[in-house]
Amino acid sequence: MSVIVQKFGGTSLADTDKIKNVARAVVREKKLGNDVIVVVSAMGHTTDNLIKLAHQISEHPSDREMDMLMSTGEQVSIALLTMAIQEMGYSAVSMTGAQVGILTEETHSRARIVDIKTDKLKEHLGEGKIIIVAGFQGITAKGEITTLGRGGSDTSAVAIAAALKVDRCDIYSDVEGIYTTDPRVVPTAQKLKEISYEEMLELARVGANVLHPRSVETAKQFSVPMRLRSSFKLDDLGTLIIGVNEMEIYKPVTGLACDNSQVRVVICDVPDKPGNAGKLFTLLAKYELSVDMIIQSYARSHDNTNDIAFTISKDDLTRFCGFKDEIMKLMNPSNIHIDEDIAKVSIVGAGMIDRPGIASMMFETLARENVNIKMIATSEIKISCLVEKFNANKAVQALCKTFELDGAEAAIVKGTLPD
Amino acid sequence: MSVIVQKFGGTSLADTDKIKNVARAVVREKKLGNDVIVVVSAMGHTTDNLIKLAHQISEHPSDREMDMLMSTGEQVSIALLTMAIQEMGYSAVSMTGAQVGILTEETHSRARIVDIKTDKLKEHLGEGKIIIVAGFQGITAKGEITTLGRGGSDTSAVAIAAALKVDRCDIYSDVEGIYTTDPRVVPTAQKLKEISYEEMLELARVGANVLHPRSVETAKQFSVPMRLRSSFKLDDLGTLIIGVNEMEIYKPVTGLACDNSQVRVVICDVPDKPGNAGKLFTLLAKYELSVDMIIQSYARSHDNTNDIAFTISKDDLTRFCGFKDEIMKLMNPSNIHIDEDIAKVSIVGAGMIDRPGIASMMFETLARENVNIKMIATSEIKISCLVEKFNANKAVQALCKTFELDGAEAAIVKGTLPD
């Protein structure tokens, strides 16, 4: 008998009718002869409503009390879904993170899981029960309630799947799988049958907001086969996320993503002294500011200065401006320039490793379309180009053509895409 | 330094403005130099809304999952109230029933508290923190979340007060204290400065819905001084509930209550055989039906039958009718008569014990007003008369006059009422 972990997000649980729908999806899996553990998020807008209540009381509520508050959302979901499954005549039991024993660090609002107890889960499975676990939450060794931060429920699901070494972890949401690129931008974008953890991670990092990187990292670390599928189309198998060596087929470029959520910061004319860049990024780290693309120009010979450019999230811009003066004092640049009208276009593919020339194909495509590249960053399986925002869609369309990521052509010409 | 337990009900916590108001009441007590533990219910209509959600999914949801669901209501309250107190600059910490260690029986939906751990409470108090505890909920030895049933939050508060042997347990609500009788019926009803546990218990049992008997019983058992007061009038000390021997003054009759929620059942012409009444009440117990007043008439000599009459709650009537046939078969009466147009008028007073003649004063008053008495039941400190519903108000008014329970007269003639 296989053990399957299923995870359902807030959209799939928005109201009691949707919860009944999820109950049917759970029972369907049970009827196939599997043991089932279900991990759920809070219902629809519950989280937003709880945050609103908190902010009516305090502008900066303490992290501990926010965790106490937010964790109720998932607890409501587990109780209601368990009732719905019991109503269908199946034996089911709900469990909070604390009851399972999802142990986390002593950090509130973004705790990392350190251990998951499996004894109670195994006991309930042994009794033939479907188990409904509250995602997003855990408990510290001292009995404090914690939450796991963004993407927390996905991470709970994968971590439980890893702890129990289950056969599959299905992440249900309102999307039908991973696409070669955003179908809202490129309507002919193709759904992938398979993608590797590494590719999924790069896609997630460059702005494909389908799965949080943390859950994919955990899946990769413990080799948990993860499937992203739609809770509204149960017959559709979605996309399977597995190790690259387990994949049936892959193309040099699997996916393309466009991220509009970054801004570019240029520290202009910094005197070229050793350690200057180090100082800057130590300061950014001190303020817990994540930077993405980084470029330092060659020192200009006429005045021996250079420019340091990097991108940060739009959400962090206000925080960054708070210590701009500190950077001016520290590095003595002529100016700090901030550019919000940019977009980051990235192509991702595990197949890049063995095939040179992918980067030049990307740059040539963009040049042909008169798209100016402002920054470039690469990893083993990813190439990102920063372009002007008004050029982003044009760039995406052209790159899809070049790398055959729009369905029709790919299906006909190469026949390598999933059916 | 004194330790005070404060309990706030749902009406006092209906929205975030009211929660801020409660925070001020808590801080006020802290500023007086007291250590403070606060016990809270769920916000306003939260409980009703959660029940509604459950019933959209299942007509009879399991007790365990209902407890899982309902206990989130208090958890939201503790987080928000703690934030509000922290926002005022005071150190505060929220705790679920599980985190405190409010241990209950293994029963869901109406568990009794079996033990309360005090180590974590004492640790937080030692650090000068105000503690906000979720009422109504507990945890079993096996880690299951339980709720305490009706009046649960009051019981949590009193039980914590008893476990820590605190100096006072203040129950805040939207009423200003205990009145001699319902002020909506008798506008001149007086608020009592003190009342004994025993009197409060009898008043609660006969329909004064101010405090649940269970919390008063617990307070009595552990001699916890309990104060019922208004969360909207913080300067008003409300009513103190204490042991009868600690009271300053008392009158023979302290209070009067009228209960419209009962129906009378008469099992007519039951053959007078030994054990017949026993069989009946064994059957009622089997169906978990609580009976209140019971009267068995003398056997009539002409046919050797008698009538058995008792009252049950209107809420239980449908359930009772479900096994009416079983009673017919078991006891062979001529008929089972159900009378819904009745009301139970009760007078309560610890002073009755030493003063004969109170019962006859009650009966004479009712006779003078042409109020027919259908049944009578007495305890050491209570006399209840069942009357026709249309006579209830007239009976209440007249009895208030006789026993000086309406303020003006009592204050002038006897001067024994609290100021």
Predicted confidence pLDDT, tens digits, chain A (419 residues): 799 999 999 999 999 999 999 999 999 999 999 999 999 999 989 999 999 999 999 999 999 999 999 999 999 999 999 999 999 999 999 999 999 999 999 999 989 999 999 999 999 999 999 999 999 999 999 999 999 988 899 999 999 999 999 999 999 988 888 888 888 778 888 888 999 998 888 887 766 667 888 899 999 999 999 999 998 888 899 999 998 777 766 677 888 888 888 999 999 888 877 777 788 888 888 888 888 888 777 667 677 888 888 999 898 898 898 888 888 888 888 899 999 999 999 998 877 877 778 888 899 999 999 998 888 888 888 889 999 999 999 999 999 999 888 764 333 222 222 22
The answer to whether the Cβ–Cβ distance between A78 and B68 falls below 8 Å is yes
Q: Which chain B residues are within 8 Å of A93, Cβ to Cβ? A: 64
User: Which residue of B22, B76, B81 is the best one to mutate when testing the A interface, meaning the one whose CB has the most A CBs within 10 A?
Assistant: B76
Task: Choose among B61, B69, B83: nearest Cβ to A61.
Answer: B83
The answer to whether the Cβ–Cβ distance between A71 and B75 falls below 8 Å is yes
The answer to whether the Cβ–Cβ distance between B57 and A94 falls below 8 Å is no
Task: Choose among A56, A68, A75: nearest Cβ to B68.
Answer: A75
Q: Is residue A202 domain-resident?
A: no
Q: Is residue A102 domain-resident?
A: yes
- Strands A3-8 and A168-173, bridge-based pairing: parallel
**What are φ and ψ of residue A368, in 5° steps?**
-60, -35
Q: Cβ of B273: how many Cβ atoms within 10 Å?
A: 13
Mean pLDDT value across residues B294-317? 81
The reply to whether A136 and A265 lie within a common domain is no
pLDDT value for A416: 27
The reply to whether A408 and A281 lie within a common domain is yes
User: Which residue of B18, B45, B58 is the best one to mutate when testing the A interface, meaning the one whose CB has the most A CBs within 10 A?
Assistant: B58
Using 50, 70 and 90 to split pLDDT, how confident is the model at B392? very high
Instruction: Give pLDDT tens digits for B114-150.
Output: 999 999 999 999 999 999 999 999 999 999 999 998 8
Q: Which chain B residues are within 8 Å of A19, Cβ to Cβ? A: 57
**Which domain range does residue A394 map to?**
246-419
Using 50, 70 and 90 to split pLDDT, how confident is the model at B7? very high
**ipTM for the complex shown:** 0.79
Q: Is residue A233 domain-resident?
A: no
Beta bridge partners of B53: none
* Nearest alpha-carbon partner for A193 in A37, A381, A411: A411
pLDDT value for A250: 61
B211: which 2 tokens? 């405090």
> Who wins on pLDDT, B152 or A380?
B152
Of the residues A139, A174, A209, which one is the last residue of a structural domain?
A174
**What are φ and ψ of residue A96, in 5° steps?**
-75, 170
The answer to whether the Cβ–Cβ distance between A99 and B61 falls below 8 Å is no
State how far residue B90 is from chain A, nearest Cα, in angstroms: 12
Q: Is residue B231 domain-resident?
A: no
Using 50, 70 and 90 to split pLDDT, how confident is the model at B21? very high
The reply to whether A68 and A169 lie within a common domain is yes
Q: Which chain B residues are within 8 Å of A54, Cβ to Cβ? A: 79-80, 83
The answer to whether the Cβ–Cβ distance between A68 and B78 falls below 8 Å is yes
State how far residue B163 is from chain A, nearest Cα, in angstroms: 21
Give the chain B residue nearest A93 (alpha carbons).
B65
**Considering only CB atoms, which residues of chain A are within 8 Å of chain B?**
16, 19-20, 50, 53-54, 56-58, 61-62, 64-66, 68-69, 71-72, 75-76, 78-80, 82-84, 86-87, 93-94, 96, 98-99, 143, 145
Give whole-number Cα distances, A346 to A19, A189, A253, B357, in Å.
Answer: 37, 15, 10, 95
* DSSP secondary structure, B301-353, as one string: TTTTEEEEEEEEEGGGHHHHHHTHHHHHHHH--SEEEEE-SEEEEEEE-GGGG
Residue listed under structure tokens 């009827």: A31
Q: Go through chain B and tell me how many residues it has.
A: 419
Q: Which chain A residues are within 8 Å of B84, Cβ to Cβ? A: 57-58
Burial of B152 (0-12, 13-18, 19+ CB in 10 A): buried
User: Which residue of B24, B71, B72 is the best one to mutate when testing the A interface, meaning the one whose CB has the most A CBs within 10 A?
Assistant: B72
Q: Which chain B residues are within 8 Å of A16, Cβ to Cβ? A: 53, 56-57
Q: Is the pLDDT of residue B408 over 60?
A: no
* Nearest alpha-carbon partner for B67 in B95, B37, B105, B101: B105
Q: Which chain B residues are within 8 Å of A62, Cβ to Cβ? A: 82-83, 86
The answer to whether the Cβ–Cβ distance between A57 and B99 falls below 8 Å is no
Q: Which chain B residues are within 8 Å of A76, Cβ to Cβ? A: 50, 53, 69, 72
Task: Choose among A56, A61, A83: nearest Cβ to B58.
Answer: A83
Task: Choose among B16, B80, B99: nearest Cβ to A69.
Answer: B80
Q: Is residue B346 domain-resident?
A: no
Q: Which long-range contacts (CB under 8 A, 24 or more apart) does A59-66 make?
A: A61/B83, A61/B86, A62/A108, A62/B82, A62/B83, A62/B86, A63/A108, A63/A109, A64/A108, A64/A144, A64/B93, A64/B94, A65/B79, A65/B80, A65/B82, A65/B83, A65/B86, A65/B94, A66/A108, A66/A109, A66/A147, A66/B79
The answer to whether the Cβ–Cβ distance between B57 and A145 falls below 8 Å is no
The answer to whether the Cβ–Cβ distance between A56 and B16 falls below 8 Å is yes
The answer to whether the Cβ–Cβ distance between A143 and B99 falls below 8 Å is yes
E strand or H helix at B53: helix B46-57
The answer to whether the Cβ–Cβ distance between B65 and A86 falls below 8 Å is yes
Per residue in A244-275, is it b (16+ CB within 10 Å) or e — as a string? beebeebbbbbbbbbbeebbbbbbebbebeee
Task: Choose among B57, B64, B87: nearest Cβ to A57.
Answer: B87
> Who wins on pLDDT, B225 or A204?
B225
The reply to whether A280 and A411 lie within a common domain is yes
The answer to whether the Cβ–Cβ distance between B145 and A96 falls below 8 Å is yes
Q: Which chain B residues are within 8 Å of A74, Cβ to Cβ? A: none
Mean pLDDT value across residues B159-179? 92
- The number of distinct structural domains making up chain B is 1
**Which residue blocks in A37-166 are alpha helix, DSSP H?**
46-57, 63-87, 97-100, 119-126, 152-164
The reply to whether A297 and A392 lie within a common domain is yes
The reply to whether A45 and A161 lie within a common domain is yes
Q: Is residue B55 domain-resident?
A: yes
Burial of A98 (0-12, 13-18, 19+ CB in 10 A): buried
Give the chain B residue nearest A89 (alpha carbons).
B58
State how far residue B45 is from chain A, nearest Cα, in angstroms: 15
Q: Is residue B69 domain-resident?
A: yes
The answer to whether the Cβ–Cβ distance between A58 and B16 falls below 8 Å is no
Of the residues A112, A142, A174, which one is the last residue of a structural domain?
A174
E strand or H helix at B292: strand B291-296
Task: Choose among A16, A79, A99: nearest Cβ to B69.
Answer: A79
Q: Which chain B residues are within 8 Å of A85, Cβ to Cβ? A: none
Q: Is the pLDDT of residue B383 over 80?
A: yes
The reply to whether A37 and A119 lie within a common domain is yes
**Weakest-pLDDT range from A235-249, B226-240, B301-315, B401-415:** B401-415
pLDDT value for A207: 62
Q: Is residue A130 domain-resident?
A: yes
Give the chain A residue nearest B82 (alpha carbons).
A65
Task: Choose among A56, A66, A80: nearest Cβ to B53.
Answer: A80
Q: Which chain B residues are within 8 Å of A99, Cβ to Cβ? A: 143, 145
Task: Choose among A65, A69, A80: nearest Cβ to B57.
Answer: A80
Q: What CATH number has the domain bearing residue A62?
A: 3.40.1160.10
Q: What CATH number has the domain bearing residue A370?
A: 3.30.2130.10
State how far residue B142 is from chain A, nearest Cα, in angstroms: 10
Q: Which chain A residues are within 8 Å of B62, Cβ to Cβ? A: 82-83, 86
Q: Quick check: B49 and B37 in contact, CB under 8 A? A: no
* A to B CB pairs, distance under 8 Å: 107
State how far residue A17 is from chain B, nearest Cα, in angstroms: 8
Q: Which amino acid is at B294?
A: I
User: Which residue of A46, A59, A68 is the best one to mutate when testing the B interface, meaning the one whose CB has the most B CBs within 10 A?
Assistant: A68
Of the residues A124, A147, A174, which one is the last residue of a structural domain?
A174
